[in-house]
Amino acid sequence: MMRKFTYWLLCCLFSCVLPLQAAEIMLPQVYSSNIDVSGWLMSEKYDGVRGYWDGHQLFSKNGKQFHPPLEFVQDLPPFPIEGELWGGRGTFEQTVSTVNKQYPHPGWLQLKFAIFDVPHPSHNFLDRIEKARQWFAQHPSGYAFVISQIPITDQVDMERELLRIEQLGGEGLIVRKPDGLYKTGRSTEILKVKNYQDAEATVVAYLPGKGKNEGRLGALLVELDDGTKFRIGSGFSDADRESPPPVGTVITFKFYGRYDSGIPKFPSYLRIRKDVEL
């Protein structure tokens, strides 16, 4: 009990004296078929909330402090690591709800911290991730693991693994250049691979339904950051059509390329982007 109280007190003190700033992190670009990734490494792209452990506290990618219980973080290393706070495939919304609470609670113990990097500007990826592996080999955690990295033989090999992950209900793959250095911002040495693309848009208006959807949502009129407006009329459950995302909400949708006008092809609703401020 005293240990838990001490941990809570330290968290409060740190949050009072340290300004929370967005971490300078590395982000993936989108894979395209003209990029040769033979000899790179691939792993499942976990659909969770990105977490940054600075050696003492856990933050979101935008610098928001999380409040996990002591049990969740007590075996984490005294150096920075990055990963996904993940509750399993298909649990994104529950994960967001869990990490958004501003106090430690048992819901965190249903999550795992899936480690994918150790930020360091002068070490390549293999050396960085090996540092994490060695730490957790000596300090096993019930709430953290290092994501397995699989060598890519060729594009066919990668596409086969992508299909396997998608059939299991996964989102896609992350592929990394093994000798790539850690660079902040979007990097060409780390790529996300999916059979579709996804993006965010803001709900502008509701368009009424017809036929079986008469009297409820037919489509959303949405707007991209560049001002492009278009309709999304598929991907909604009956519950979504009865109670659609409020106007002004940021949503995530999937699509398959773009027209010359910039409008996404075959857009389909995925979910409200509840972690937009995390």
The SS3 call for residue 138 is helix
Residue with tokens 């968290």: 11
Asked whether 268 and 230 are in contact (CB, 8 A), the reply is no
DSSP reduced 3-state for 142 = coil
- Dist CA 255 CA 276 (whole Å): 19
Sheet with 144-146, edge to edge strand ranges? 58-59, 49-53, 81-86, 112-117, 144-146
In terms of Cα–Cα distance, which of 240, 244, 203 is closest to 221? 203
Closest of 225, 267, 274, 265 to residue 245, by C-alpha: 274
Q: List the structure tokens of 125.
A: 């990826």
Q: How far apart are CA 161 and CA 180, in angstroms?
A: 22
User: Is residue 25 a contact partner of residue 184, using CB atoms and an 8 Å limit?
Assistant: yes
User: Sign (positive/negative) of CA torsion 183, 187, 191, 197?
Assistant: positive
Residue 188: CB atoms within 10 Å: 11
Q: Work out whether strand 58-59 and strand 81-86 pair parallel, antiparallel, or are unpaired.
A: unpaired
Among 63, 65, 81, CA closest to 21: 63
**Cα gap 148→174, rounded to integer Å:** 11
Question: Which residues are part of the catalytic machinery?
Answer: 45
